[in-house]
Amino acid sequence: MRDILLVIHILLGISWVGGIMFIGWGVFPATLSSMSLGNQRKFLIKLMDWTHLLFTLIGSFVIYTGILLGTIFGPIRSFDVLFHTRYGNIWLTALIIGVFALLWGVFVGYRGMMRVFKDDFIWKEAENGNKKPLIRGLIGLTIMESIEVIGFVILVVLMVLF
Ligand code: HEM
């Protein structure tokens, strides 16, 4: 049973991290270099609407299965184990960073993207030849998303440390 849960946890974890990175490094640049501005905007809003819920669900299940693996199916049965063992400390750190990355994605990343994609001024200016506000917006989004990616990198390191 624990092994099945671990397989599910790992598959979900890969999908969460890999999916978000694929969109950021693959779909975004491809869209921005191959579509007209109007289509880019429409496509990116649709893409975010669709993937936002999906990745929020996947991320929640990664955390949920991680909690089960550490507690019901793992050694963490008391606060003593949680705070005074190496396993407990790694798990608690992973839990905090996992929840942080998920909330960051929902409340900062997604909202920030929608703010840029739905900002009429930025896109009208870009259509009229002034791409500066759009580029500034996209750079802001990249920096914002890097915070989530740093969280993922720390999580993967913690998983190896278990
Ligand atoms: C980016 C998201 C995550 C990925 C890619 C990921 C991946 C993995 C991998 C590959 C393992 C197997 C490690 C091994 O057997 O040495 C694992 C185990 C585990 N993960 Fe995660 N994980 C993620 C997030 C989390 C979070 C947020 C938690 C805590 C709530 C967590 C808790 C655990 C636990 C308890 C185990 C079992 C460790 C053991 O007893 O050997 N994981 N995870």
The model's pLDDT over 37-50, given as tens digits with 9 standing for 90+, comes to 888 889 999 999 99
For residues 129, 113, 18, 74, the Cα torsion angle rounded to the nearest 10 degrees is: 170
Write down the domain spans for the chain.
Answer: 2-161
Q: For tokens 């092994």, name the residue.
A: 3
- Separation between Cα atoms, residue 49 and residue 7, nearest integer Å: 28
Q: Residue with the nearest Cα to atom 28 of ligand 1?
A: 66
Which residue among 6, 7, 8, 9 is best mutated to probe the pocket of ligand 1, counting the most ligand atoms within 8 A of its Cβ? 9
Weakest mean pLDDT among 10-14, 33-37, 52-56, 92-96: 33-37
Nearest 5°: the CA angle 75, 16, 85 is 20
Residue 82 in contact with ligand 1 by CB distance below 6 A: no
Is 76 touching ligand 1 by the criterion CB < 6 Å?
Answer: no
Alpha carbon distance, N-terminus to C-terminus of the chain: 19
Q: How far is the CA of 38 from the centre of ligand 1 (A)?
A: 41
Mean pLDDT of all residues in 125-138: 90
Contacts of 24 (CB under 8 A, 6+ apart): 142, 145, 149
Handedness of CA 20, 26, 28, 29 (dihedral sign): positive
Span 88-108, pLDDT tens digits: 999 999 999 999 999 999 999
Whether ligand 1 lies within 6 angstroms of the CB of 63 is answered as yes
